[in-house]
Amino acid sequence: MIKRYKYGNMIETEAILAKPELSSDEVSFLTVNEETKTLFYKMTKDDHIYGLGEHVRGINKRGWFYESKCRDEPNHKEDTCALYGAHNFLVVDGEEQFGIFIDYPGIVSFDVGYTRSNDLTITLSDWNFDLYMISGESLKDIVKQFRQLIGRSYIAPLWGLGHGQSRWGYVCADDIREVVKKYKELELPLDSVYMDIDYMDHLKDFTIHPERFPEFPKFAEEMKAQNIRLVPIIDAGVKIEDGYSIYEEGAKNGYFCKNADGSIFVGAVWPGKCAFPDMLNKDAREWFGNNYKILLDQGVEGFWNDMNEPSIFYAEEHLQEIQKHADSYTGNQLMIDHYWTYKSMFDGMSNNADDYKRFYHNINGEMVRHDKVHNLFGYNMTRAAGEAFERLCPDKRILMFSRASYIGMHRYGGIWQGDNRSWWSHLLMNLQMMPSLNMCGFIYTGADLGGFGSNTTEDLMLRWMALGIYTPLMRNHSCVDSRRQEPYLFEDIDGFRHIIGMRYKLLPYIYSEYMKAALDDEMMFRPLAFEYPDDPLAARVEDQLMVGDGMMIAPVYVQNAQGRYVYLPESMKMIRFKKDGTVDEEIMEKGHYYVEIDLTDVVFFVRENHVIPMSKGGLRVDDVDFENVELISYVTAEEATYEYYHDDGLSKDYENPANRTILRATK
Ligand code: MIG
């Protein structure tokens, strides 16, 4: 059951389209305090807190302080409080079980036992929000109700579940040709190559560099003929330049964010000085979205939206203030206090909280200061694209994922988990984030495999790929100044071919589970506690996940480990696919084990009386035979069944009953 409460007058987020009637009951469980702008819950020692979407730390969020404040945080570590997304949904699991959603577009903080170990304190930056309290029969039920409330998740095309190669620094068509050639020569599976800002003409949105990518439509066709899709990036900031049509149209129609005096707000990002489309203004959103057509018309079928927190290197006005202040030190000695002031002025130039107070949105004719709606910007950029795709190609799925997000955006696109690092800790974080993102409706998601920043190593790459084969977005992406990490540059090509190949073998299951999770408002990745609520040990497991209905995974995330400890909450069949093509099976009883896992082994666990459909694999999603699947199963009853979802992967005939069939396996 869902109860809605209203405090003040919130600025509409459209996270929820069909709002339930307001409840006249008292709010249960929480102490609501307008004076301190807080919601408070006294946790018991054993309560677990799940959710909050994109954040650092564990599956159980206890013991830290988090903020919903979309932020570009490429160097995030254990103590980072805010990342790219703002997802105000959490579930309390203990003596009481309930979900809380705070629909509020400004900054919210969650002190989950950080200040006092049993205090959960949620603080809002002002008192205009809607509160939803959700009770249910189980954790899964609470999440499902929430998901039904926020509406069906975005659905990616099937090719978007193929393996993608990306890197910031493929500067011309030949760079991409080279990638595709290498993949082909070495028979490494691949479905897409991502195009980073390098493809743009002087970093301008919706343009293509004429010399680096001459005759782009032909190039896209050439790739398509090999069944490779090109996926360009779109940035939030629009370069300010006379003669650049996107800028000129936006300026002429008043579609950019404004300063208090009505002039265009200027902030610098990659192309230099930029204007920011007012994604919260309906007309501006429609206009911005229509521009994706420029690339759709040239053979593009997917995009990723970047820098939409929005990330601002510096605000023009702020830079002038700093320069002025810095000048005042000229000729003086920088005493220690001055030194810190001086230094922090420059350090604080990017994504500065005060700069978010300098500009305004036009929401239905009303000027709203950005900081009050900060968390809606990336959401509405992606919504601009999603709504445009509905208008421009209503019957076709377009790949779309974003960096920044708010709940509600999940209806228009997926997300990638932003800039991470080639750190083992970020491999674990990738795993731990999956279920909390699923809870908030983000099903099409994944992290930059191998790590974006820093130099990766071959073993990290292999281990990370071995997790990536399960995540709907499976993309190897890295930063221009980091070590290159295309699989063909490492020693053990056979190992990479085997692991990536396993994705294609598992695709019937992965796609089926992905689609069912999106269509039926379920989680594809679940903490063990969600599946085994009566097993107190299951709730302690922070590094294993259930993937869909029949599978448990236990990835290795420690360097030089040759295996790991695994907890089995019930009897399961362990399946091991080795690089040499052999497959081992072993039935294991409930309990703790140390499992050896070679660098190139793919190991997962099948639940009792469950079935996993697999294919023979392929080099492209198109090669995969989804009809004649082989069943991996662990059957102790007479028979085990599996509800198998399969469709053409491109159109939107989701409800067609023919898409769902029952597969049966016997003992
Ligand atoms: O500030 O476009 O997260 O994936 O490669 C860096 C360059 C800007 C950040 C994205 C990353 C992308 C990079 N972008």
- DSSP-derived secondary structure for 638-656: SEEEEEEE---SSS--TT-
Give the position, in ligand 1's atom list, of the atom nearest the Cα of 166: 5
Ligand 1 atom at shortest distance from the alpha carbon of 197 = 2
Q: Which residues contact 194 (CB under 8 A, 6 or more apart)?
A: 164, 165, 166, 167, 230, 231, 232, 233, 304, 475, 477
Supply the pLDDT for residue 332.
82
Q: How far is the CA of 306 from the centre of ligand 1 (A)?
A: 7
Distance 659 CA to ligand 1 centre (A): 37
| Cα distance between residue 520 and residue 568, in whole Å | 27
Q: Dihedral sign, CA of 540, 543, 544, 547?
A: positive
Query: How remote is the CA of residue 236 from the centroid of ligand 1, in Å?
Result: 12
Whether the CB-CB separation of 547 and 470 falls below 8 Å is answered with yes
Ligand 1 centroid–CA 147 distance in Å is: 30
Which has the higher per-residue pLDDT, 336 or 186?
186
Q: How far is the CA of 312 from the centre of ligand 1 (A)?
A: 13
Check pLDDT > 90 for residue 442.
Answer: yes
The predicted pLDDT at position 334 comes to 83
Q: Which residue is closest in CA terms to ligand 1's atom 4?
A: 419
12 Cβ neighbours under 8 A, 6+ residues apart: none
pLDDT at 330: 87
Over pLDDT 70: what percentage of the chain?
Answer: 100
pLDDT tens, residue by residue, 184-223: 999 999 999 999 999 999 999 999 999 999 999 999 999 9
Residue 45 burial (C-beta neighbours within 10 Å; 0-12, 13-18, 19+) = exposed
CA dist., res. 155 & res. 279, Å (int): 22
On whether the CB atoms of residues 134 and 98 are closer than 8 A, the answer is yes
Pocket test for ligand 1, best of 419, 448, 454, 477 (most atoms within 8 A of CB): 419
What six digits make up the tokens of 166? 């990306």
345-395 pLDDT per residue, tens? 988 999 999 999 999 999 999 999 999 999 999 999 999 999 999 999 999
Greatest distance between any 2 Cα atoms in the chain = 87
Task: Tell me, in angstroms, the distance from the centre of ligand 1 to residue 30's CA.
Answer: 40
**How many angstroms is it from 75 CA to the middle of ligand 1?**
13
| Mean pLDDT value across the chain | 97
- pLDDT at position 335 is 84
Residue 167 alpha carbon, nearest atom of ligand 1? 5
The model's pLDDT over 125-177, given as tens digits with 9 standing for 90+, comes to 999 999 999 999 999 999 999 999 999 999 999 999 999 999 999 999 999 99
Distance 363 CA to ligand 1 centre (A): 29
Ligand 1 atom closest to 418 (CA): 3
Angle formed by the axes of helices 216-225 and 173-185, nearest 10°: 10
Q: What does the pLDDT look like over 244-295, one tens digit per residue?
A: 999 999 999 999 999 999 999 999 999 999 999 999 999 999 999 999 999 9
545: CA distance to ligand 1 center in Å? 29
**CA of 448, closest atom in ligand 1:** 4
CA of 386 to the centre of ligand 1 (A): 21
Burial pattern 432-453, b for ≥16 Cβ within 10 A else e, equals bbbbbbbbbbbbbbbbbbbbbb
Q: Tell which atom from ligand 1 comes closest to the C-alpha of 168.
A: 5
Task: With a cut of 90, say whether residue 333 has pLDDT above it.
Answer: no
Q: pLDDT tens digits for 8-64?
A: 999 999 999 999 999 999 999 999 999 999 999 999 999 999 999 999 999 999 999
Q: What is the mean pLDDT of residues 69-84?
A: 96
- For ligand 1, the distance from its centroid to the CA atom of residue 461, given in whole angstroms, is 20
Query: What per-residue confidence (pLDDT) applies to 338?
Result: 86
The residue to mutate among 307, 314, 402, 475, having the most atoms of ligand 1 within 8 angstroms of its beta carbon, is 307
Q: Would you place residue 1 in the very low, low, confident or very high pLDDT band (cuts 50, 70, 90)?
A: very high
Ligand 1 mutation target, pool 73, 84, 168, 479, most atoms within 8 A of CB? 168
Q: Which of 269, 306, 405, 481 for a ligand 1 pocket mutation test, highest count of atoms within 8 Å of Cβ?
A: 306
Atom 6 (ligand 1): residue with closest C-alpha?
Answer: 307
**Closest-lying ligand 1 atom to the alpha carbon of residue 403:** 3
**Atom 1 of ligand 1, nearest CA residue:** 307
Ligand 1, atom 13, residue with closest C-alpha: 168
Which residue's CA is the nearest one to ligand 1's atom 11?
419
Distance 174 CA to ligand 1 centre (A): 21
Q: Which residues contact 647 (CB under 8 A, 6 or more apart)?
A: 515, 653, 654, 656, 659
State the distance from the centre of ligand 1 to the C-alpha of 469, rounded, in angstroms. 23
Pocket of ligand 1 (CB under 6 A): 168, 196-197, 233, 306-307, 403, 418-419, 452, 477
Please name the residue that has the structure tokens 């469950």: 610
- Using the atom order of ligand 1, give the atom closest to the CA of residue 74: 3
CB 448 within 8 A of CB 475: yes
Do 603 and 595 meet the contact criterion of CB atoms below 8 Å apart? yes
- Gap from CA of 209 to ligand 1 centroid (Å): 18
The SS3 assignment for 507 reads helix
Atom of ligand 1 nearest to the CA of 452: 4
